[in-house]
Amino acid sequence: MGKCRSIFAILILFLLIVLPWLGGCRDDEPTSPGNPSSESCGYFDTQDFSWGIYVYDPDEQNSRGIEVIYNGYVDPLNPPEVSLRIAGAAVPLTFSGVGNWWIAEASLDAGSSYSFELTASGQTTKGNLSIAFTPHAVFPETIVAGQSARVTWTLDGPASCQLAGACSGDMQDDEDCYDKTLNSSAREFTFPAGCVPGWGDQETYLSLAIFNRDVVMVGKTLILISSGLVTRDYRYN
């Protein structure tokens, strides 16, 4: 997702930075601090978390983009001191200059677990996060009005938290979105016809996506999210 290839990339950044952060796997029972939740999966309110770390899909060199996000205002002229260590090694952070996030890159292998250590304004929080596998998906070639759309995929390892999503609209205007929580064993999903406005409309921009995520909550201080995301865009106009 390093290059914003679709409205989903913009949607995720918007949800992470402007709206309450995008949640992840959750169980009916409370999640132990620092431990991933079960395969039960959905959205949860993360406004109480002070910080979030989001790990993206890798590029061709297996380098993954990382965002460190503060849940609050950051003075662009006087941002707080923030440092990140992964598996004990310091990872250079660059302040965005605007907004409330820092960016970094690191080489992290899917399926492996890494220790994350975030220090902000002198306070350190630690947690372990497994890096999610990116789905290999087969999307329909076209979307037809009045007809459902079936997507199948494979993974190079186990899934923990999967979702299917669709968004339609114009990148200059508001998008309408649909999402469905999936079982961790799912490897196919059929999007209902008309699940978003303009389904199959020749004048509508549409994007379908399959997510695989690993999520860890460390008390109410830090949420760690690793997301494997694959999308297919349909631009008709």
pLDDT at 176: 85
Residues in the chain: 237
What region, left, alpha or beta, does residue 151 occupy, with left being phi > 0 and alpha being psi -120 to 50 degrees?
Answer: beta
pLDDT at 12: 45
Identify whether the C-beta of residue 14 lies closer than 8 Å to the C-beta of residue 1: no
pLDDT at 8: 44
Return the domain boundaries, the chain: 7-132+219-224, 136-212
Instruction: Calculate the CA dihedral of residues 92, 98, 99, 105 and round it to 10 degrees.
Output: -20
Lowest mean pLDDT among 43-47, 96-100, 130-134: 43-47
Identify whether the C-beta of residue 105 lies closer than 8 Å to the C-beta of residue 94: no
Mean pLDDT across the chain: 80
Which CATH architecture is the domain 7-132+219-224 placed in?
Sandwich (2.60)
The CATH number for 136-212, chosen from 3.30.200, 1.20.120, 3.90.820, 2.60.40, is 2.60.40
In one-letter notation, the amino acid at residue 198 is: G
Fold match between domain 7-132+219-224 and domain 136-212: yes
pLDDT at 1: 36
CA neighbours within 13 Å on the CB side: how many for 205?
11
In one-letter notation, the amino acid at residue 26 is: R
Pairwise CA distance, residues 139 & 83, whole Å: 40
pLDDT digits (tens, 9 = 90+) for 72-82: 899 999 999 99
Give the percent of the chain with pLDDT over 70.
77
